Amino acid sequence: MNKASLIACHECDFLQRETPLVKGGTARCRRCDAVLYRCVPATHDRALALTLAAAILFVVANRFPIFGLWVNGALVETTLFGAASSLYADGMWPIAGLVFVTTILMPSLNIAAVIYLLLPLHTGGFPHRPEIVLRVLRHVAPWGMIEVLMLGMLVALVKLQHIATVVPGVAIWAFGAVMVLLAAASVTFNTRDLWARIDAMQSDGGVSHLLSAGTTPATAARAGLFVCHDCGLLSKPLAHVHGGSCPRCHAALHLRKPNSLVRTWAFLFAAMILYVPAILLPVMVTSTLFGARSDTILSGVVFLWTSGSWLLAAIVFIASLVVPMLKILSLAYLAWSTQLRSPLIPHERTRIYRLVELVGRWSMLDIYVITILVAFVQFGSVATIDAGLGAIAFGAVVVLTMFAALSFDPRLIWDAVESEGE
């Protein structure tokens, strides 16, 4: 039996055999319908070209102004890094750090990792220690939020138009191009091919000698196998050992995420506590000659609605108010039902988990809008915009709910189903 003939679903742990697919085909789990793998041709040269183009434009996007603001005959401009620096200078270093990490650091690491992996392949070689870089790439990907930043720029653009004449800069177009290029590169970048090449270079790993065709248990855990979440390899632990190291990528292995529910509840409770000040406290404070005005997230939505930007108002309302609340409620329901070992509706609960992972990042929208407005509206005694304490609380809610989703192990949902079946 080929060592790649068995695969375990990352969401329900169900063991199944890999099936050859037609070009562009998708293999889904027979139990929970999760995507297992896709048949993507190894077009490494195309992925490299797209990523190199994205790298060049990413430098341009961070070197040139996002847009310009004409005020009393003067043009006010700033870069994305300059906008984050403005927040840092005002003492809002948690928000400044969050913006820097999600819009500059993580996308940079993503681009650099892909180039590091693909450039040696283009020249006929092979990257050194690719398994480490592939693991870094997997953990970095959820935290790069260029697409959310682009939407935040559009919302900020609408708001700034009510203050002065706005001139789109080179950076906003470059960021848009980077977003498209990275999306295209991710489609053509075949990590499974790279892992297969790593397998060919290593002498051990896999489960070719462990299971026979007629005795395949339902799940990897029942077969006594670890599934690596970083590279997908199935491996056999040493005797009397509950953890281990992946023989292919050296990631830490566990049958289930350690203390999954405890960590999920901890992050959730912290997010619940901070959600109240995030909604009630001002996220922006606008000072003018006529006085100061504090804006909460909800009042910002009302401003967009009354100014005629109904679509953007609806988007901000959903991303900044509805999504965080639904994430907290959904994760609480998943953690509670899993802790009770409920066997009910496992398919629906797994779909809820996928949806929570998918939409979580879009709550960063308001943070990016605030960052841009604070950077541009600094006109001394005439008008200034400063970030409020609500922005820090809201940013913490977004990060905590993302950590809660990452901590939750959906395989626990299906463990209760198996226990019920027994």
- Helix, strand or coil, per DSSP, at residue 38: strand
Q: What is the 3-state secondary structure (H, E, C) of 9-36?
A: CCCCCEEEECCCCCCCCEEECCCCCCEE
Model confidence band, residue 90 (pLDDT cutoffs 50, 70, 90): confident
Which pLDDT score, from 0 to 100, does residue 209 have? 42
Average pLDDT value for residue range 175-191? 91
Residue that wins the pLDDT comparison between 162 and 111: 111
Q: Among candidates 393, 17, 6, which has minimal Cα distance to 236?
A: 6
Which pLDDT score, from 0 to 100, does residue 208 have? 44
* Alpha carbon distance 192, 27 (integer Å): 13
Which pLDDT score, from 0 to 100, does residue 4 have? 47
pLDDT at residue 91 greater than cutoff 90? no
**Range with the poorest average pLDDT among 39-43, 278-282, 350-354:** 39-43
Model pTM score: 0.87
Residue that wins the pLDDT comparison between 304 and 262: 262
Q: Which amino acid is at 384?
A: T
Residue that wins the pLDDT comparison between 298 and 349: 349
pLDDT in tens, 200-238: 776 554 454 445 444 556 888 888 888 888 888 888 776
Which pLDDT score, from 0 to 100, does residue 234 have? 84
Model confidence band, residue 289 (pLDDT cutoffs 50, 70, 90): low
64 contacts 82 by C-beta, under 8 angstroms: no
Domain spans, the chain: 1-39+204-220+233-241, 43-202+248-254, 259-422
pLDDT at residue 11 greater than cutoff 80? yes
* Alpha carbon distance 193, 60 (integer Å): 32
**H helix or E strand, kind and range, residue 403:** helix 389-407
Model confidence band, residue 372 (pLDDT cutoffs 50, 70, 90): confident
DSSP label at residue 214: G
Which pLDDT score, from 0 to 100, does residue 395 have? 92
The strand pair at 234-235 and 226-227 is best described as antiparallel
Average pLDDT value for residue range 142-167? 86
Q: Considering the chain, what is the average pLDDT of its residues?
A: 84
pLDDT in tens, 328-368: 999 999 999 999 999 899 999 999 999 998 888 888 988 99
Which pLDDT score, from 0 to 100, does residue 196 have? 79
Query: What tokens appear for 190 in the block?
Result: 């075949």
Model confidence band, residue 2 (pLDDT cutoffs 50, 70, 90): very low
Average pLDDT value for residue range 302-329? 85
Model confidence band, residue 106 (pLDDT cutoffs 50, 70, 90): very high
Which pLDDT score, from 0 to 100, does residue 3 have? 44
Strand ranges inside 205-299, DSSP E: 226-227, 234-235, 243-245, 252-254, 284-288, 291-295
* Alpha carbon distance 81, 58 (integer Å): 12
Average pLDDT value for residue range 17-29? 84
Count CB-CB contacts under 10 A for residue 120.
14
* Share of residues in the chain with pLDDT > 70 (%): 89
pLDDT at residue 262 greater than cutoff 90? yes
Which pLDDT score, from 0 to 100, does residue 239 have? 52
Phi, psi at 195, each rounded to 5°:
-65, -35
pLDDT in tens, 70-87: 777 677 788 899 889 988
